[in-house]
Structure formats: structure tokens, C-alpha cells
Structure 1
Amino acid sequence: MATPTQTPQHTGPSAGTGAATGDAASAGDAARTGADGCTGADGNTEIAGRKIFFVHPPAWIREDLIYSMVKLGYKTYSTEESRGLRKLVSLYPGSLLFANVDKGPKGFDWLKILSSMNDLFREKDIRLGVLSEDNRKDAIKRYLSAVSAPCGYIVLTGGQKEIASRITTQTVRQKARGRRTQVRARCFDKNATVNVKYAGENHAGRVLDISGAGAACVIPSLDDRLRKDERMSDIQFKLNSRICTVSGKVVGIRTESEKTFVLLFDEARSDSVDEKIYAFVKETIQRNFERAMA
């Protein structure tokens, strides 16, 4: 699996051409998360960061790199709907968009389409990056002379780790993570449930949102019993078909239409638990994005 680092470096002249420069994103507070129902822009990009979209990515980017980026706190998605670019740009201003121009529907002229969207990209503050296996100088020049691409032309040749570094160098330069350290997935389906052992009894509830740091849960049978700062050593989640158990404490209680307990997980947990949580977060934010685009 290609795993990006938090502050990746260029690997050579071909790492990315014509990219803008900038400082690395601030790590921010460890408890800060970005809620993601993927319904539109997040507002202040300095704080919330920028969503990242890959259009027609290779399979390893879609599965492995995006997982690693979500784990690092980047809101990252993929799409095979190149004909829906204008809708995507309109729904998600301020985003990074990496388009694999080697793929697309038959007869789809990427150069013509992207160049025709230059004004829209500027209006919506879209930071475009062109992805291609074509490393010929004339091909690179052709795109960069016709298309506004702050994230440059990124060559998809070499090892996966090297390519991942080329891409994530641009996400750092564009401050795509903001001050967020976790991506929080909103759970609109009943596919995320929680079971808590409290005072020797099991109490079932549902998960409203979850990240690698914690979760917001509704547990009706504990509404009048569970208090802020109480610790729990047995919190079991069922995330789609994945079952995992963590320990943690209640760090907040929200009283809205129903009482919601905000849980902060203990950092000491197994890699397998982390993998299940982050895989679910990746799947859920992707599904929410696809619903918004439907």
C-alpha cells in the first residue's frame, strides 16, 4: 500500500510541473474533526481544509491512497463520472480536483473540456491537477499552456510510493487538510450501531457520526444515567459488517431533538480496530458524496 507522509517531499523534476507553492497545513488540535455528509463547501478552508476529488483514478489510488489520505485527515473521494465535472465543481467550491486524463468515456476530449472550464475553476476556487502516464514534454506543455492547473501536471509513472508523494506534496502546498486531524463521517443509514456495557448491562444505540478519534451516539436507555467524563471500557461498534471494540470516555452531551453522547476514544487500540474504523469512514463519506451527485 502506498502511504503518504504528512509532509511529503518532491522526488524529482517530474514530481509535478507548474504547481503553486505554499506552507504545510497546520496539524491543529488533536480532537478537531471535519464532519462530512458531503453536502457542499465547508466554509473557511484555512480551518476546514479542502475536499479532494480524483476523477478516474487508478485502482491503487482509489483503494489504497485515498484510504491513507482519509486516515491522515484529508477529505478524499473518487468518481468515474467525468461528464459530471461541472456539477461537482458547482457543489464543492474550494476543492482540489485531480483528473486522470488517460481515462474517460469514448470521445471525451479532456484538454478541450478542462480548458473550457478555466473560468469556472477560477470562479469556484478549484485547484486542478492533471494526472497522466504521458511524460513527454510536449504533452505536459500542451496541458499547462491551456489549462489553469495550480496542482500541476503529475506523471503517473514510477513506483506507487513515488507517485503518492507527488500527489500529496500538492495537497500539503494547497493546505487541503486545514487544521483538521480527523475526517468525521456522518451516518445517515442504520448501518452503524453501538453497544455499550454500563453497570453490568448492555445498552444498544446508533452512531450519528464517527472518526478515528471518537463518535457521537444516541443511546436512549442511558439518557438519564450516563454523565460527562464517565469512562467506559467496553464500547462495541458494528460498522456495516465490521465489529470492533474500543474504550473511551464521554467528553460532551448534546441535547437537541434527542440526547447525544460525544465519545472520545482512548488512543491505545489495535491496528485492526483502526483499520475497521477508517475503512468505514472512507466508505461512508464516499457514499455520501455519490448520493449528493446523483
Structure 2
Amino acid sequence: MAEVEKSIYGRKVFFVNPSTSFEASVIGRLRLMEYEVYAIEDYRKVKPLLRKNADSICFFLIESQLSLKGWHNFIKSFEEEGVFSPLDIGILIPVLPDDKQSNFLAELQYDAGLIKLNQDQESMFHEIVKALDAKNAKGMRKYVRANCLNDSQADLLWLKDNKMFKLKIIDISSVGIAAKLSNGQANAVFINQIIENVTLNLKNVQTSVDIKISAIKAAGDFLLVVIMFNTSTSPEAINNIRGYIANNLQESLRSSLRSIDLDRIDYEKL
């Protein structure tokens, strides 16, 4: 549907009706590769959500919840609302007899590709990555970022001269952090300072990281500190951070879905 344009921030990627194994083997890997990926379990919540995120890429897994006819009607119905014109749709489909596949695909638009679910897992994964790159999923953004302001368990802590310093994290990516430091603790940091063995606390999971202070800016009643993870930080720590970011974003989606009204159209009868 959408014309592919270079975006600074990239595009959200949704997988509708993924199995548990698909989430672990495909979605998890895509998140490690810095795609902004979400899972939606209930197809009835897809349209209300995508009306607010129309410039996205959405893959439908045709395995359960609806019959082939129901899925066909559901996907076809996106063409009836102009709000979805920026949306790119991909379909992941099991192996079907030629006639059934032809009937299912008749008149459907799937600009993000048609991918077979039953093929070799690596081949399927690479097809998905190829489709995402063709649709500019990452844009010019290299790293996915999560907002931590509403997370009471997201901070950095370290000791200096027997004094504990604590920075509240504003947001985080796998390469760095923006954090708040009180004006009263301004002497705790300086630009280009390297601090080793800092405790990164995310949801009560503590990880040791090495950091470098990249910038310090006055922001009213606090200092905004821009922090980069040093190259000496372990790959395990970086993967823990990526896992937190993925969980943070997915939980934000779940929270928004709780207040969304279900799509009540019976797509089996259209």
C-alpha cells in the first residue's frame, strides 16, 4: 500500500497471531537486530490499534482464530479505509494446495510479501528481514529506544568517595541512556568521564555496565545527562538491555490494547 520513503525514526512492525515458538525464534531475533517489533495476539484489536499507527508494517500469520475465508475478508477490509493507505501488509501462510492458495490470495494486496510458514526456519527469517529492509523498517534510526519515565525501576547507581549517586533513566537504547541528575549532585559527573562497573537497574534486574558521559545539559530543576555504554560493556549486558527495551515496548502496547474496543465484525460472513 505505502510508498517507501526514507524515515528518520523507522517504522513499527506488527505480527498478528504469532505462535509462542514464532515469537521466540523470529520476533526475538528481529528485536536483537534493532527492529521495532510488536506481537498482537487478538486480530480483533488490530484495526483500532493500526488506525493510530497506520505508517507501519503488519504481518498476518494465517494459522488460527479465523478460517482462510475469514482471514481473506479481514485483510481485504483494510483497503476500504483510507486511513490504512500508508500501511504495508505481509502474509505468512502455511503450505496450501494451489487452488486454495489462489482463492485465498485473490484480490489481496500484500506489499510486504508472501512468506511460507512451513519452510526452513532460517529461510523464512531471511525472507522477513529482506521484506522489512525493502519497506524501510529501520529508516535512518539505528537503535530502538524505550521511554523509562514511568518505570520506577530504571536507574543507574554507583559509588564515588563513599557516596552513592543515582540517576533516573529517561530513555534507553542498546548504545546509551538519557538520564536525570539532581542539580545538587552536579559534581558527580563531567563530560568525557568514564565510569566502570556502574549498576544498571532495570525492573530489579541489575547489570554491570561501563559508561562514558557524553553531554550534560541544564533542564530546569535537574541536569540532563547523555550517557554512552563503553565498548568494554559485555555483550551479555547489551542483550539484557535489548531484552528490557523489547519488554518495555510490548508492555506499553499491551497497556494500550486493554482500553481498545474489539472489532466486532464477523469476517467469516462477509
Which of 82, 89, 95 aligns to 1:128? It is 89
- Change over 3 Å in CA distance of 1:279–1:259 after alignment to 2: same
**Structure 1 pair 197–239 and aligned structure 2 pair: CA distance change class (3 A):** same
* Residue 277 of structure 1: aligned partner: 241
Q: State the superposition RMSD in angstroms.
A: 2.6
Counterpart residue identity of residue 190, structure 1: S
Which residue of 63, 70, 75 corresponds with 2:24?
A: 63
Query: What's 2:231 paired with?
Result: 267
1:234 aligns with 2:197: yes
Counterpart of 2:64 in 1: which secondary structure?
coil
User: Cα gap change, 1:274/1:75 in structure 2, threshold over 3 Å: closer, same or farther?
Assistant: same
Mark the structure with the bigger radius of gyration: 2
Q: Does 1:154 align with 2:154?
A: no
The offset of 1:179, in angstroms, is 1.3
* Counterpart Cα distance in 1 of 2:93 and 2:247: 26
- Aligned-pair identity (%): 20
State the partner residue of 2:8. Answer: 47
TM (norm. structure 1) is: 0.78
Matched-pair contact (CA < 8 Å) for 1:235–1:245: yes
Partner of 2:166: 204
Secondary structure, aligned partner of 1:183: coil
Deviation, 1:105, is: 5.8
For 2:161 and 2:29, how far apart are their aligned partners in 1? Answer: 38
Gap runs ≥5 in structure 2: 259-270
SS of the residue corresponding to residue 91 of structure 1 reads coil
How far off its partner does 1:112 sit? 0.9
Higher RCO, 1 vs 2 (CA within 8 Å, ≥6 residues apart): 1
Say which SS state the counterpart of residue 97 (structure 1) adopts. Answer: strand
> Is residue 84 of structure 1 aligned with residue 62 of structure 2?
no
1:20 CA drift (Å): 10
Q: In structure 2, how many angstroms separate the alpha carbons of the residues matched to 1:264 and 1:227? A: 13
Secondary structure class of the residue paired with 2:119:
coil
Query: Where in structure 1 do 4 or more consecutive aligned residues deviate above 4 Å?
Result: 19-22, 105-108
Cα 1:150–1:251 shift into 2, 3 Å: same
Contact 1:135–1:155 under 8 Å retained in 2: no
Unaligned 5+ segments in structure 1 are 1-18, 23-43
How many residue pairs get aligned? The number is: 255
Q: Per-residue deviation at 1:70?
A: 2.0
The answer to whether the 8 Å contact 1:67/1:278 transfers is no
Mapped to 1, the partners of 2:167 and 2:66 lie a distance apart of 44
TM-score (norm 2): 0.85
Q: Match of 2:145, SS?
A: strand
Query: Deviations for 1:113-144, whole angstroms, at most 9, x for unmatched residues?
Result: 11111133774411001112134333433343
Shift of 1:21: 11
How far 1:271 moved relative to its partner? 2.6
- Identify the residue that residue 243 of structure 1 maps to in structure 2: 206
